[in-house]
Amino acid sequence: MARYNRAEAREWAREHLVGVVNCTIPSFSSDLRTINERAIRHDTKLAIEHGFAGTLGVSEVAITLPEYLDFLRVIKDEAGDDLLLVHHASWSDLDQNLEAVRGAEQAGAELVLLSYPPNFYPESEEEIYDYTKAVCDATGLAVMLFPMYLWGFSSRIHPSDIPVRLLRRLIDDCPNIAAIKAEGGFPSIQSVIECQRHFGEEVVISMPIEGELIPLSQIMPIQFSATSDHEYYGPMIPRVFDLLRDGKFDAAAEIYWQLHPARKAKAALAATLHGGAFLNRQAWKFQGWLQGYNGGPLRMPTQRIHDAQMHALRKGLIDAGLKPRMDPFREFFIGRNPTRSAGQEA
């Protein structure tokens, strides 16, 4: 259960939403029939070792809601209070999202990343308001709003995806809105600056993109970077975040430039794999595998990753001096902790 009540969400967030939050993608047994508890515990322990303050339990894969809630319970059981557990409110419709957020609260999540379903097609700000408020009203957990191009709102609603006036209404009417993951109008940085200017005294503003986090933190206060595939860089983003918090900007800038080859490799892959309307979770899982995370098979339907993309991602880390794992690529599709559904080693 959360360590705060609904009325305390913003006060709690200001104190506790500090640091870097990565993503944990579910791992499955070799026959894909069950979640792989051993692999999930492996990834949780490594995230703690790498210095992450929290992890997002990713739901945007082929997983049932009961399995997903078990997945969250495993993370929470392994991490205890060493990781902030973030619920990924990304399910098929409002009813399922309401069921999921209630279950996630029982499973030990303490923050909700609010997403919008692919079949949600609002034609007014009021429809976004109603959906968002319904989710917030269904939980006592702190909620992180997420202006983002993936929802498709920019062409109909506002170029910033969720405009400031609508964010203002939601913050006024939902006391458990405690953070904003400010990616509106991405790749523009206007959203994070605008959110900080309008709401930075009320809620925590997160900049999840490390390529913007490092330079922006040198000129404006950023206490939280959540949620993103930071595990691609191993322990480097928590490390540079600590330097930024300590005002050691020259040292942080050195790391920024060190990471640039890997950053460029990841950006090039995003342009070809991710497209404009989805994230390739298979590629994200491979990125983590390069740094020692489990990897392993995902169920259909899933995106694919081929040799050329895998070589490019690994070369980016090599060029950045980050010493990725050099296992044969076939091992990624098996995973570092293979099990069958009955629990026997594969």
Amino acid at 231: E
pTM of structure: 0.96
User: Which sequence spans correspond to the domains of the chain?
Assistant: 6-248
Helix boundaries (H) for the chain: 9-16, 37-49, 65-79, 94-107, 125-137, 164-173, 190-199, 210-216, 236-245, 249-258, 260-269, 281-289, 307-319
Q: Note down pLDDT in tens along the chain; length 346 residues.
A: 789 999 999 999 999 999 999 999 999 999 999 999 999 999 999 999 999 999 999 999 999 999 999 999 999 999 999 999 999 999 999 999 999 999 999 999 999 999 999 999 999 999 999 999 999 999 999 999 999 999 999 999 999 999 999 999 999 999 999 999 999 999 999 999 999 999 999 999 999 999 999 999 999 999 999 999 999 999 999 999 999 999 999 999 999 999 999 999 999 988 775 455 668 999 999 999 999 999 999 999 999 999 999 999 999 999 999 999 999 999 999 999 999 886 454 4
What's the pLDDT score for residue 276? 53
Considering the domain delimited by 6-248, tell me its CATH architecture: Alpha-Beta Barrel (3.20)
Would strands 142-145 and 84-89 be described as parallel, antiparallel, or unpaired?
A: unpaired
* pLDDT on residue 346: 46
Give first-to-last CA distance, the chain, whole Å. 35
The encoded tokens of residue 77 equal 């059981």
3-state secondary structure of 96: helix
